[in-house]
Amino acid sequence: MAEHTVEVWDKPCTVSAHQESKSVWVAVGDYMGESIKVDDRSERTAVMRWCNAARYKGNCDAGAIRRLVELGLKAKGI
């Protein structure tokens, strides 16, 4: 099992990757208190896919959505 340190929205995260079969690699890590698990055909692409999943989660959290709505309302002068 290999461990990788990656940054998601400027937060360092530790992702573990292991080979499950000849053509399946699994990347697992926690982000914002939730475990994320993805698989792909290589270790590198599994870790990249994990980063994308974590970025999506971080971008869609309730706080981020609330801030975007507030910014939109301020831009409209409401």
Q: Quick: pLDDT tens for 18-57.
A: 999 999 999 999 998 999 999 999 999 999 999 999 988 8
pLDDT tier at 70, thresholds 50, 70, 90:
low
Say what the pLDDT of residue 9 is. Answer: 85
Query: What band does 71 get if pLDDT is binned at 50, 70 and 90?
Result: low
Confidence check: pLDDT of 73 > 70: no
Distances from the Cα of 66 to the Cα of 29, 34, 40, 58, 74, angstroms? 26, 20, 33, 13, 12
End-to-end C-alpha distance for the chain, whole angstroms: 52
